[in-house]
Amino acid sequence: MKNLFKILLVISGTILMGVFFYFVYIGLLIPYFPFLYSLNVSKDGNIYYYYSKQSELEYMKKFNPKSYISETENFHNLTFSNPIRLVILPKKKYKKFKGTGLLSTRLDGLILISKEVKKEINYPLGIFLHHEYSHLILLQRLGKLRFTLIPRWVLEGIAINSSNHYGINGYPTKSEAIKILNQKKILTSFDNFLNIQEQSVSTIKFKYTIYGILMEKILKEVPMEKLFAFLETLEDNQLFSTEASKEKVENEINKNFLKQMEKEFKISLSKTFGELLGK
């Protein structure tokens, strides 16, 4: 009996430790994320900076990250409910913690910045931080699950508009993006466009610009506060109860979103996209 108790105790302890380290690794125990304790930290208003060298802190502050807080809140008609945490990391650690591109917002609320940005000449870090703030403010207010139910084109389209992220750092202007869109004769529908393979940085930047244009059109018909209220009602419809591929899940998320949005606001994305093609 004693041996059985010990075995059960060891098993229970192992499971608890496994769960603990899993949540620590993906960062859900912020601000208790262990890696952050190995970095220096500096607080400036509602922003916490995490860095290794003083020069990294100076680099981030040079772009005045605080200046974009009120702009982001005004655009979204929301307020940040938690502090903003900016973490600058070496390239390898940035990728280890699931960073994409040179900046990314994680589901735990950290905004990661790759040190590679310092190598980019005239890199507009401020604009990209402004862009990430859009993701963060929605994440803070909607929560992790509901945030993951928003299609990427919606999240990126809102962020592109919020930060006026057009014609910067290789992103085409609105007119340039529409011209490229009309040159690609195969893009006859919104579905065709979403399924373009993102094999190059230029293709991603082109798609993001079109996302921005589409969301700009939608926001002219649907005020941000109404759109946000709609986002709060999104349902997962058991999307994550199956072992579906990431692509299939994203397609289902988009299909459900469009269906719910059309029902709520009587907006047809096919028609809106067709207008860009001059249809």
The pLDDT averaged over each successive group of 10 residues in the chain (279 residues) is 63 64 46 68 94 94 95 94 93 77 89 90 89 96 88 94 93 92 77 80 91 92 89 66 62 82 84 78
pLDDT of residue 66: 95
Joined together, the tokens standing for residue 13 give: 């302890």
Q: Provide CB contacts within 8 A for 276, sequence distance 6+.
A: 178, 181, 182, 210, 213, 214
Query: What residue has token string 């941000």?
Result: 224
Q: Render pLDDT for 118-175 as a digit per residue (tens, 0 to 9).
A: 888 788 999 999 999 999 999 998 888 889 888 899 999 999 999 999 999 899 999 9
pLDDT of residue 267: 83
Encoded amino acid at 268, one letter: S
Query: What residue has token string 């993001």?
Result: 208
CB 161 within 8 A of CB 216: yes
pLDDT of residue 27: 44
CB 154 within 8 A of CB 257: yes
Q: In whole angstroms, what is the distance from residue 194 CA to residue 152 CA? A: 10
Beta strands in 10-100 (DSSP E): 40-44, 47-51, 84-89
Q: Provide CB contacts within 8 A for 158, sequence distance 6+.
A: 76, 134, 138, 215
pLDDT of residue 276: 80
Helices (H), 85-166: 91-96, 125-142, 144-148, 152-162
pLDDT of residue 4: 64
pLDDT of residue 268: 81
CB 156 within 8 A of CB 211: yes
Cross-sheet strand order for the sheet of 103-105: 40-44, 47-51, 84-89, 110-114, 103-105
Q: Which of 194, 191, 267, 189 is closest to 230 using CA atoms?
A: 267
pLDDT of residue 31: 47
